C-alpha cells in the first residue's frame, strides 16, 4: 500500500505532498480563492459553487491523476478535522473517511444551499467550510483518491 499524500491548504494555494515519491505539487487554489466573489458570511449560492468547481477542476487537470489513484489524502489541519467531524467521523482518535462520506457531506452542503435548514443538516454555514469541502471533494473525485484521513482532533 502506498503512503498517504499529505494535503496542506493555504488561503489561495493547495499543496499535495507525496513523500514516498519525493514530490510536491502546488496548485493556485485555496479556501480564500473566492473571497470577494462569495458572501463574507453564510453560504455561497449554487451558482457560486458551480463556478468554484470549475476553478478547482481547472487546477486539478494539470496533475496526473493515476499517481494518486486509490491512495489516501492525509491532513492534520483543523479545517480538515472540521470536515471529518461534520461527516460523522469519531475525531477523538485517528480517523479515515472514504470518498463516499465526503460526497454525502457535500450533498448535505448542496441541500443547505438549496434551502434546507442548516440546523437540520447539521453542517457549518461559513464560506471557509464550504470552500474547504469543495476543494477536498473535487480533489478526491478527480484524482481518484480513495479516502481522507487525519489525526485525532482535540
Q: Which residue has the cell 454525502?
A: 104
Q: What is the pLDDT of residue 11?
A: 97
Per-residue pLDDT tens, the chain, 154 aa: give them.
Answer: 688 999 999 999 999 999 888 999 999 999 999 999 999 989 999 999 999 999 999 999 999 767 888 999 999 999 999 999 999 998 889 999 999 999 999 999 999 999 998 888 889 999 999 999 999 999 999 999 999 999 998 7
Q: What is the pLDDT of residue 64?
A: 73
Q: What is the pLDDT of residue 90?
A: 87
Pairing of strands 5-10, 72-74: parallel
Q: What is the pLDDT of residue 125?
A: 93
Q: What is the pLDDT of residue 2?
A: 80
In the chain, DSSP assigns E strands to 5-10, 13-18, 23-27, 72-74, 95-98, 147-150
The 3-state DSSP class for residue 128 equals helix
**DSSP 8-state class, residue 37:** T
The 3-state DSSP class for residue 125 equals coil
The 3-state DSSP class for residue 20 equals coil
Q: Which of 3, 150, 145 is nearest to 63 (CA)?
A: 145
Q: What is the pLDDT of residue 88?
A: 92
Please answer whether residues 133 and 106 qualify as being in contact, where contact means their C-beta atoms are separated by less than 8 angstroms: yes
The 3-state DSSP class for residue 88 equals coil
Q: What is the pLDDT of residue 65?
A: 66
Q: What is the pLDDT of residue 1?
A: 61
In 45-138, DSSP assigns E strands to 72-74, 95-98
Distances (CA, A) of 15 to 30, 66, 120: 9, 17, 34
Rg for the chain, CA atoms, rounded: 15
Contacts of 150 (CB under 8 A, 6+ apart): 74, 75, 76, 77, 80, 81, 84, 91, 94, 95
Full-prediction pTM beyond 0.85? yes
Amino acid at each position: 500500500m502506498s503512503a498517504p499524500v499529505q494535503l496542506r491548504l493555504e488561503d489561495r494555494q493547495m499543496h499535495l505532498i507525496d513523500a514516498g515519491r519525493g514530490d510536491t505539487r502546488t496548485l493556485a487554489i485555496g479556501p480564500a480563492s473566492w473571497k470577494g466573489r462569495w458572501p463574507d458570511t453564510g453560504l455561497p449560492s449554487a451558482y457560486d459553487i458551480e463556478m468554484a468547481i470549475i476553478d478547482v477542476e481547472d487546477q486539478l487537470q494539470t496533475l496526473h491523476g493515476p499517481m494518486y489513484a486509490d491512495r489516501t489524502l492525509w491532513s492534520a489541519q483543523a479545517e480538515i478535522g472540521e470536515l471529518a467531524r461534520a461527516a460523522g467521523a469519531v475525531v477523538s482518535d485517528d480517523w479515515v473517511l472514504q470518498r463516499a462520506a465526503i460526497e454525502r457531506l457535500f450533498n448535505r452542503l448542496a441541500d443547505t444551499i438549496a434551502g434546507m435548514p442548516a440546523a437540520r443538516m447539521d453542517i457549518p454555514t461559513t464560506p471557509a467550510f464550504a470552500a474547504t469541502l469543495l476543494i477536498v471533494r473535487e480533489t478526491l473525485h478527480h484524482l481518484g483518491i480513495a479516502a481522507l484521513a487525519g489525526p485525532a482532533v482535540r
